Structure 1
Amino acid sequence: MILISTQAIASAPRIILFGDSLTAGPGVAAQDTLSAQLSERLKKSGYTTEVVNAGVSGDTTETGLARLDYTLEGGAVDLAVVELGANDMLRGLDPLKTRMNLEKIITAFQAKNARILLVTMVAGENWGQTYKKAFDSIYPELAQKFSVTLAPFIMQDIWGDPRLLIGDGLHPNAQGIAKMVDRIAPQIETVLKMMHRD
């Protein structure tokens, strides 16, 4: 049994970051990726965890769903951070299809008794208000339907700020990823506390 502090939980929960390039971390050093920075943040908060980077650049919700079985075969999942949908939005894919894929991903993780943190994604204005309304409603509605924790839009104030992005202007640099961690770490710590009580 490992006890880091009074906040630490007795075993090391396995946290899967299941996402696209925002999770994978192209263009940054290994120690600056979302998984590495999140692990360090949780450690400083007194939690011993195993944080797995299961991000694949270019993934849509459809391709994420297609590889989900492989991810689930890799071991137990205590908490799944589902960060998918950005590429669906950037390609203008049907929001209904995005919703259906995310539903299947959520139910698959729940079937493995994993808790879920669903990361909000929002559509750009360029697709029009009808598309944006349909897309933006996906995440809060699924969080309510499946009783999962909803994280805020992870790229808020990062997209559009060159100080927080690598050269392609799309993906966060180490500083941008630190802000991403700031957005999701509080919810993850809340879930870890709930797991400890259970």
Structure 2
Amino acid sequence: MAASLMLACALPAMAQTAAKAATTPKPARTVLVMGDSLSAGYGLAASQGWVALTADRVAKTKPGWRVVNASISGETTAGGAARIDGEIKRNKPAVVVIELGANDGLRGLPLAQSRANLDRMIRASKASGAKVLLIGMRMPPNLGREYTQGFSDNYAALAKQHGIALLPFLLEPIALDRNAFQDDNLHPIASAQPKLRDHVWTQLEPLLR
């Protein structure tokens, strides 16, 4: 009799707990973007950059996902390598997008150094269980053919070595259109950002399935 009474009292609480568990949403899976000014939206409103536009698309088309933009204008691969562990610990990403290297190239930093930094970021991301999308850049020809070719080759080699997704050149859809850039001829204008979003999406979307 006492056991039956205890069970009867416990059943409503058990049902309430089960209902709460069923209705509690799962934590959103995170896409972490580690980039420089091209991803930080230099010269643009916060909502205009390709990362913000991607976050909007993810919110509308990929339930259970969110985008965290940890990009910093002026960031180098060394800066990214120094920050990656903290950002992974803080955000626990399921996907890490790495868009770095342009500032290394513009400063003529050694290619081996840049590659080692990117390698460090990729290894840290994979060790956390995250998928990785590496976004490459290209350098202007005035730096010399050997440097510009080696710069581009770094991204392809790292993607092959680690078996990760690669977008060879972020600015490919607009690179030949001077009107797509701000006065500095380095940073895309707001109206060009949707093209960058769509370009990145070709490689990012499969990682969100």
Q: Which of the five TM-score ranges fits, normalised by the shorter chain?
A: 0.7 to 0.9
1:136-180 deviation line (CA, Å, top 9, x unaligned): 110111001001000131112434534322333211122222111
**Helix, strand or coil at the partner of 1:32:** coil
**Cα distance in 1, alignment partners of residues 164 and 143 from structure 2:** 28
* 2:182 counterpart residue number: 166
1:15 deviates by 0.4
Aligned to 1:75: 91
1:121-160 equivalence runs, <5 A: 121-159=137-175
Instruction: Give 1 or 2 for the bigger CA radius of gyration.
Output: 2
Match of 2:70 in 1: 54
- Cross-structure match for 1:39: 55
Percent of paired sites with the same residue: 37
Measured in 2, the distance between the counterparts of 1:157 and 1:125 equals 19
1:99 to partner: Cα distance: 0.6
* 1:19 maps onto 2:35 in alignment: yes
Residues 141-150 or 69-78, more deviating: 69-78
Runs (5+) with no aligned partner, structure 1: 3-9, 194-198
Count residues in correspondence.
186
Alpha-carbon distance in 1 for matches of 2:112, 2:104: 11
Aligned pairs for 1:64-143 (under 5 A) are 64-143=80-159
Which SS does the other structure have where 1:16 is aligned? strand
**Contiguous gaps of at least 5 residues in structure 2:** 1-21
C-alpha distance in structure 1 between counterparts of 2:145 and 2:30, whole Å: 39
Q: Which has the higher helix share?
A: 2
Any conservation in 1 of the 2:51–2:69 contact (CA below 8 Å)? yes
Report Cα offsets for 1:25-76 as digits up to 9, x if no partner: 1111111122210022234444442101110111110111112222123121
Contact 2:173/2:195, CA 8 A, preserved across alignment: no
The secondary structure found in structure 1 opposite 2:34 is strand
